[in-house]
Structure formats: C-alpha cells, structure tokens
Amino acid sequence: MRFIDMHCHPPVPTYLDGPFAPYLSELEKRFGRAVPRMSADELADYYRSLDGRAVLLGWDATTATGLPPFTSDQIAELVAAAPDVFIGFGAVDPHRPEAVDQVDRAAALGLAGLKFHPSAQVFDPSDPAYRRIFERAADNGLACLFHTGYTALGAGLPGGGGVETRYANPMLLDALAASVPELRIIAAHPSWPWQSEAIAAAQHKPTIWLELSGWSPKYFSRELLDACTGRLAERSLFGSDFPFITPELWLRAWANLEIDESVTQRILHDNAAALLDR
C-alpha cells in the first residue's frame, strides 16, 4: 500500500448536497475545480488505482448550522462497501446532549476515530464543558481529528456563513492534550495563521500529530517542512482534502521537494498505519 490519505470528504451526493450544500459553489471557486459526485464503488476504485487507502470523515455541525449531518452510521456503510480501502472517522455534534452517546456509537460501529471542525461547529475543544466527549473517545480508543487554521468553508459568504476562525487555533488542542493526555489528537491542515503554534503544540505534546491536507506542498512554509521532515517526522501525516484537492496533485508536488524516501514513507503511510493500527 503506497499511502493512507488521512483526509477524505466522501464525495457522495448525500454529503456534498447535504451538509456542504451552502458552501460548495464557493469552495469550487477557491479550489479551482468542479467537485465530482461519486458512488462508494467509484471512490474505492479511484483509491485502488492509486494503491492507496482513504480515511472517510463524518460531519455533524447540526446545532451550529441547522444543516443535516453525515453520520457515523453513514460512514460505516461506506467503509463496509470497501473495507480494504476505507477507514472511517465518525461524527459528533459537541453541543448535543447525546454527544457522548455519539462517541460510543462510532466505537460500536468499528470506526477508527472522530472528525471535528471547531470553526463550523462553533466550539472550543479545550472547554471543560466538552471534556467528557474526549475522555470517552480516549476510553474507546478513538483518535480525534480537528480542523485547524484558516478554512475555505464559508469564505466569501456573508458573515463567513457563521464559521468562526478563532476556534481553529491549535493552541486549543494543546490545552485539550494537557487535560485529556490519553487522547490521540490530529491537527488537520497547515494551520495558517498559527503554524508556529501547531508545531509547538505537537513538539510539546506527544499525543498531537500534524496532518498536511488542504494545501499543495509547494506552498508549505520552510518552518513546516523542517518540522514535518525533521523533529516531527514520526508524527506527521499525509492527507489530501479530497475531493477538493486530489491525492495525485498533492503527491506530485511532494515528489518535487525531493524529500528523503524513508521520511516520505513514514509521512505517506507508516505513521498513519501506526496511529490507526491498520
């Protein structure tokens, strides 16, 4: 297996035309490509053709946005369609009274983790009010992936579509890691404008991983490249942000950087395989 893509939004109609519907047109403009709708079989065949696996991410920002979720059960159905290719991360709305039950449901379905987007969900993951969610995730052995930094989601819409960038500061994950030290935390995307903070948090907290999706590597800062290929090479993870950025685009740009092959192997595959025990 060549790679594990840690960041794939399922491009099925119920996802793109459900919770992402208000944002999709502007996202397509900003990423410069039309987003294709794909069936589970088409998506699996696409990743097989690249000799890769994909972590499929759920979504539940219902309380903050009023939009429908893409649930852990829906993610589990996709994983069941191609378990050789797909790994599932479920969805939790942190504002719901049954949020802890949603964590247990994801674990019962055999998913590997949970996806959070604090800016879209409008919550501070370090707030003690949400700690039980993350304690239960740790109890269940679920990794938690958080969007960090700037987001194209809602960009250009009035009021940013209600998305609040401040909740994506990775220092909130540093505080979460301090309060729930057993929780495996994935800081998704280069974390601009807080890249130094993300590196510092990961360097200080051994349960924080850096995930590199959403940007072509040709735009990575020198600081990020030095960290993810150097002192944090064993806790850095490949992700594409498919279908907005394709694995091929990301991998071609990475190859042009001429990174040592052993480091590339860790970032593209081995670190994720160890983190997820897959």
Q: Residue 262 maps to which CATH number? A: 3.20.20.140
* Distance from the Cα of residue 106 to its chain's centroid: 16
The count of domains in the chain is 1
Q: Which helix (DSSP H) or strand (DSSP E) does residue 92 occupy?
A: none
pLDDT bracket for residue 212 (50, 70, 90): very high
Average pLDDT over residues 40-52: 98
Domain that holds residue 125: 3-276
Q: How far apart are CA 168 and CA 119, in angstroms?
A: 6
Q: How far apart are CA 188 and CA 173, in angstroms?
A: 11
Q: How far apart are CA 139 and CA 154, in angstroms?
A: 34
pTM of the model: 0.96
Taking only the tens place, the pLDDT of each residue in 50-100 is 999 999 999 999 999 999 999 999 999 999 999 999 999 999 999 999 999
Q: Other C-beta atoms within 10 Å of 33: how many?
A: 14
Average pLDDT over residues 30-57: 94
Least confident span in 82-91, 146-155, 176-185, 236-245: 146-155
Per-residue pLDDT at 160 exceeds 90: no
Q: How far apart are CA 214 and CA 151, in angstroms?
A: 9
